[in-house]
């Protein structure tokens, strides 16, 4: 019996020791640990991020003002063309026939004018003779008046015939113009970036001119149309520098300049944006029309400034533990960072901030010095969690097993 009591006591003591050890380990692991980063100096640039499309500065859509069948094509995709160069030909047979018809009508009208001139001249001579005879009392006044009426009628007919000549001449000009429209010429110097017709295709110019070619005037001068959010448009100014990348050259940064801020707003799903146009040089012709550009408009740039990681400004001490001590309580006020002292105690440090680039923030004033350790993250039980992030946020950590 005595031996059994001794065994039970030993088991109880061992269980108590094991429980105390587990409690000690849990208490120690529950103590917060802090990750710090040093205050540094470097460059900062405040940017507005937007996306846009690369386009030529001038795009000309070449169409047809007449209907007909495409007879010949003299340009294709990527063809370099000059102003006035023939790039397509519409079958001119019908239009040539109309020109010939209008020319014949003009000749007929001109012949009618000559006929009326001859009639007028004959009536004028007759009137002159009648006046001579009337002076000799050989004819009556009525015959003279009748002859005068014929002269007046001949003059009116001559005027009508001359008007018919002008009408015929205008019809000839219209027919000749339509015939000239059968020859499609490039209106500018540039390069063909789109061809929308083939030989034998019929184009119908009824309500609007169909587009045959699209010509970019100069691909060495490009522009990017970006959609800037209404919250950022107030910081955009003319001549601000911009940088952008395209998927075709992911490792290369291209430069641009803001040269137009358009006032027309675009609203899509209650999101208001404004079109900001960047001027871009393209001497190597790497940029092509239609490319998607990821643009960063440089609002402000500074060199050799004191800066802290943005995570340091977002950090908040976790509740409980050492954070409840007076030296770790956050004062009321503006931006704040937390310094970690040699005794592992947190010290709140108010600062005045400037620009930020999405990763670092400029420190304009405050007791911070280069190299000071600022807290960016608190961890418990060896698992890091940035302050302010959702507790169930996905990360790269391995999935945990079931908790017993």
Structure confidence by residue, pLDDT tens digits, 147-182: 999 999 999 999 999 999 999 999 999 999 999 999
Is residue 34 a contact partner of residue 342, using CB atoms and an 8 Å limit? no
Q: Which residues pair with 273 in a beta bridge?
A: 229, 266
Beta strands, E only, 178-220: 183-185, 190-195, 202-203, 211-216
Average pLDDT over every residue of 205-209: 77
What is the chain's Cα-based Rg?
Answer: 46
Q: What is the model's pLDDT at position 93? A: 95
Q: List the structure tokens of 263.
A: 């006032």
Residue 256 pLDDT > 70, yes or no?
Answer: yes
pLDDT band at 331 (very low <50, low <70, confident <90, very high): low
pLDDT at 381: 52
Torsion 392-396-397-400 (CA) sign: positive
CA–CA gap between residue 157 and residue 120 (Å, rounded): 9
Residue linked to tokens 């310094």: 339
pLDDT at 45: 86
Residue 151 contacts residue 123 (beta carbons within 8 Å): yes
The predicted pLDDT at position 157 comes to 95
User: What pLDDT shows up at residue 208?
Assistant: 76
Question: What is the CATH number assigned to the segment(s) 59-90+186-217?
Answer: 2.40.50.100
pLDDT at 21 over 70: no
SS3 56: strand
Across the range 295-322, mean pLDDT stands at 84
Handedness of CA 363, 365, 369, 373 (dihedral sign): negative
Residue 292 structure tokens: 């998607």
Strands 40-56 and 221-229 turn out to be antiparallel
The predicted model gives 205-220 an average pLDDT of 87
Q: Would 32-43+306-385 and 48-57+218-302 be classified into the same CATH topology?
A: no
Q: Does domain 92-181 have CATH number 3.40.640.10?
A: no
Task: Out of 28-32, 117-121, 230-234, pick the least confident.
Answer: 28-32
For residues 197-207, average pLDDT:
88
CATH of domain 32-43+306-385: 2.40.420.20
What DSSP string describes 290-302?
A: T-EEEEEEEEEEE
324, pLDDT greater than 50: no
Least confident of 132-136, 226-230, 234-238, 399-403: 399-403
Q: Strand runs (DSSP E) across 204-351, as ranges?
A: 211-216, 221-229, 241-246, 249-268, 271-281, 292-309, 336-340, 346-350
Q: What is the pLDDT of residue 389?
A: 40
Each residue's pLDDT tens digit, 298-310: 998 888 889 999 9
What's the rounded Cα separation, in Å, for the pair 211 and 195?
9
Q: List the structure tokens of 343.
A: 């005794």
Output phi, psi for 42, to 5 deg: 175, -165
Q: Rounded mean pLDDT of 14-22?
A: 65
Distance of CA 82 to the CA centre of its chain: 27
Q: What is the pLDDT of residue 400?
A: 36
Structural contact between residues 277 and 225, judged by C-beta atoms closer than 8 angstroms: yes
pLDDT single digits (tens) 349-379: 899 998 888 889 999 888 888 888 899 988 7
Exposed e or buried b per residue across 113-137, where buried means at least 16 C-beta atoms within 10 angstroms of its C-beta: beebeebbeebeebbeebeeebeee
Residue 383 has pLDDT above 60, yes or no: no
CATH 2.40.30.170 fits 48-57+218-302, yes or no: yes
Identify the pLDDT of residue 199: 94
Angle at 127 between CA 126 and CA 133, to 5 degrees: 90
Question: In this predicted model, what pLDDT tens digit does every residue of 84-124 receive, in sequence order?
Answer: 999 999 999 999 999 999 999 999 999 999 999 999 999 99
Cβ neighbours for 59, distance < 8 A, ≥ 6 positions apart: 193, 214, 215, 216, 217, 289
Burial 163-186 (b: 16+ CB within 10 A, else e): ebbeebbebbeebbebbebbebbb
Q: Tell me how far CA of residue 220 lies from CA of 78, 201, 275, 279, 285, in angstroms.
A: 14, 33, 22, 11, 6
As a whole number of angstroms, the distance between CA 171 and CA 102 comes to: 6
- What's residue 403's pLDDT? 34
Listed by start position, the domains of the chain span: 32-43+306-385, 48-57+218-302, 59-90+186-217, 92-181
Q: How confident is the model at residue 346 (pLDDT cuts 50, 70, 90)?
A: confident
- Backbone φ and ψ for 176, nearest 5 degrees, come out as -65, -40
pLDDT at 392 over 60: no
Res 105: pLDDT: 96
Q: Quote the CA–CA distance of 136 and 154 in Å, as a whole number.
A: 27
Average pLDDT over the chain reads 85
Name which of 224-238, 242-256, 333-347, 390-404 the model is least confident about. 390-404
Q: Please enumerate in sequence order all residues whose Cβ is within 8 A of that of 358, keeping only pairs 6 or more positions apart, or say none.
A: 47, 310
Give the mean model confidence (pLDDT) for residues 18-39: 67
């Amino acid at each position: 019996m005595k031996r059994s009591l001794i065994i039970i006591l030993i088991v109880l003591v061992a269980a108590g020791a094991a429980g105390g050890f587990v409690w000690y380990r849990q208490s120690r692991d529950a103590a917060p640990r802090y990750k710090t980063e040093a205050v540094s100096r470097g460059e900062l640039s405040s940017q507005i991020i937007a996306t846009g499309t690369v386009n030529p500065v001038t795009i000309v859509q070449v169409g047809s003002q007449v209907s007909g069948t495409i007879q010949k094509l003299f340009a294709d995709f990527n063809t370099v063309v000059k102003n006035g160069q023939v790039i397509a030909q519409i079958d001119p047979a019908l239009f040539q026939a109309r020109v010939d018809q209008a020319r014949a009508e003009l000749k007929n009208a001109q012949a009618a004018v000559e006929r009326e001139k001859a009639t007028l001249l004959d009536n004028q001579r007759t009137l002159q003779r009648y006046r001579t005879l009337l002076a000799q009392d050989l004819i009556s006044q009525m015959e003279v008046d009748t002859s005068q009426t014929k002269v007046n009628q001949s003059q009116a007919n001559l005027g009508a015939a001359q008007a018919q000549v002008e009408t015929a001449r205008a019809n000839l000009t219209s027919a000749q113009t339509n015939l000239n429209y059968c020859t499609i010429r490039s209106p500018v110097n540039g390069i063909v970036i789109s061809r929308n017709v083939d030989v034998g295709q019929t184009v119908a110019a009824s309500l609007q001119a169909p587009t045959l070619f699209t010509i970019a005037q100069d691909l060495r001068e490009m522009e990017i149309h970006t959609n800037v959010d209404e919250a950022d448009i107030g910081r955009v100014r003319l001549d601000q520098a911009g940088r952008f990348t395209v998927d075709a050259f992911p490792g290369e940064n291209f430069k641009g300049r803001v040269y137009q801020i358009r006032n027309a707003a675009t609203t899509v799903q209650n999101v208001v944006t404004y079109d900001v146009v960047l001027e871009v040089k393209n001497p190597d012709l790497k940029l092509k029309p239609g490319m998607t550009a990821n643009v960063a408009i440089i609002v402000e740039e500074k060199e050799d400034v004191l800066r802290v990681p943005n995570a340091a400004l977002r950090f908040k001490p976790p509740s409980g533990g050492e954070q409840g001590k007076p030296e770790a309580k956050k004062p009321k006020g503006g931006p704040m960072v937390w310094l970690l002292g040699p005794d592992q105690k947190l010290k709140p440090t108010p600062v005045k901030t400037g620009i930020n680039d999405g990763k670092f923030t400029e420190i304009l004033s405050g007791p911070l010095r280069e190299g000071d350790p600022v807290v960016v993250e608190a961890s418990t039980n060896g698992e890091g969690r940035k302050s302010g992030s959702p507790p169930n946020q996905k990360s790269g950590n391995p999935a945990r097993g079931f908790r017993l």
